[in-house]
Structure formats: structure tokens, C-alpha cells
Amino acid sequence: GDSVTQMEGPVTLSEEAFLTINCTYTATGYPSLFWYVQYPGEGLQLLLKATKADDKGSNKGFEATYRKETTSFHLEKGSVQVSDSAVYFCALSNYGQNFVFGPGTRLSVLP
Amino acid sequence: GAGVSQSPSNKVTEKGKDVELRCDPISGHTALYWYRQRLGQGLEFLIYFQGNSAPDKSGLPSDRFSAERTGESVSTLTIQRTQQEDSAVYLCASRPTGTGSWTDTQYFGPGTRLTVL
């Protein structure tokens, strides 16, 4: 079945450091790919998404590019802030029906 | 308009009791999902409703778990004879349907934190 693999956390960075959170997937068909973020004490929010190969999703300084050849959707940000501390979930959806989430990666940004 | 709402926000119950969790999806969203999130872990799919189609119950962990949805409105998740391992945050999400890539995004509620003593 479909699956999503994310890098193990927690990830701890200093403010203004470069962030990469790796995500790879296994899926039949041509899934849409998502990054969701869960801030402390809050529900999941969509951060960005991409629906076809080579699409780049971006939001709040975060970016991820849909790489079909490597089945990856790595999340990047050039300069993280303390307020980016959260849990990040990579997810896929095939035809908008079933959604599969990765286990989440906890990011802590220190001032 | 309003987002997905869930109630109660917190529920503490004793082992063996039944609990009902409620989800109000975004108006007009035909698809509704329930997930479980144990402490420090990822999302575990439970059940999926799509319009008037038969729900996808493949994620329900046991027959103590059931869910209902009337039409395209409120859904309730019921856990009977609760066990301590049922303690988790239960998340509901809804999704619009139709054509177009905007329909494949889920919108999550804040969750219900269930604690079974």
C-alpha cells in the first residue's frame, strides 16, 4: 500500500539556520503531496502542497518540490525562526480520497 | 466561514465507560475523516465518509469503535468500553469534493483529547 517516510526527529536548530526535513513516498498512481504543520497545542494546518511532478509548493518561507524521479518531497527553509518550532507531517493523497501521513518530525528552534 | 469544530475539547473518562466525540465539518464539505494521534506519534487513520457512499472503516482498530455521519453534516465517533490504550487525541478533518486540485486538501479540527483512567 501507499506509505510516507520522514526523517527521524527531533531536529534542533539555532535561529536563522537552514532547514531540511526529508520525505519520501511510495504510491500507486500519481499522488498529491502535502506538508502539514502542528504547532504546540494546536491542530494540523496545511503548510504547502504540490499536485504534479516538478511543482514547487511554498508558504511562509518554506518550500518543497515534487520529485517524481526520486519519489521525494523534501521540506526546506533558508532561515528558521523560533516560531517555526512545531511538528511537521508529510502526507500524500491519491485521487483526493485516502490520505497517508508520515510519522511527523519535531523541530525545535533555539534563539 | 467557520472551520472544522470538535467537541468536547477534552474528555476524561473511566475505563469501561462509553464516550462520544463530535465533529462539525466545514459547510459543504462532503468528505470527512477521523484520525487518532497518540502522544508523540503520527496520525492513524480510523474512518472516512464520502457523501452517501458506504464509509471506509478499514482503520477502525476494534469493534468497540464506530462512527456515524448523517448526510454531509455532523459526525460522531463512539468508543465503547474504553481502555487505557484508547487515550489519544482524536482528530477530525473535512475536505471539499468536486473537480480541481483544491479539492484534495483536508482541513483539520482542533481535536478532542481523550484520557481514559
Choose the mutation target among A8, A101, A106 for the interface with B, i.e. most B CBs under 10 Å: A101
Q: Dihedral through CA B31, CA B26, CA B100, CA A23, nearest 10?
A: -80
Residues in chain B, overall count: 117
Q: How far apart are the C-alpha atoms of B25 and B11, rounded to whole Å?
A: 20
- How does B26-58 read in b/e, with b if 16+ C-beta sit within 10 Å? beebbbbbbbbbeeeebbbbbbbbbeeeebbee
Q: What is the mean pLDDT of chain B?
A: 90
Q: Please return the burial class of A103, using the count of CB atoms within 10 Å of its CB with bins 0-12, 13-18 and 19+.
A: middle
A40-83 confidence digits (pLDDT tens): 888 889 999 999 899 999 999 999 999 999 999 999 999 999 99
Any idea which residue has 518550500 for its cell?
A: A63
Taking only the tens place, the pLDDT of each residue in B42-94 is 889 999 998 888 899 989 999 999 999 987 789 999 999 999 999 999 999 99
- Mean pLDDT within A10-22: 96
Cα B50 to Cα B71: distance, rounded to the nearest angstrom: 9
pLDDT category at B101 given cuts 50, 70, 90 is: low
Q: What is the mean pLDDT of chain A?
A: 92
Q: Give chain A positions within 8 Å (CB) of B95.
A: 96
Q: Which chain A residue has its CA at the smallest distance from B89's CA?
A: A43
Confidence of residue B103 (pLDDT cuts 50, 70, 90): low
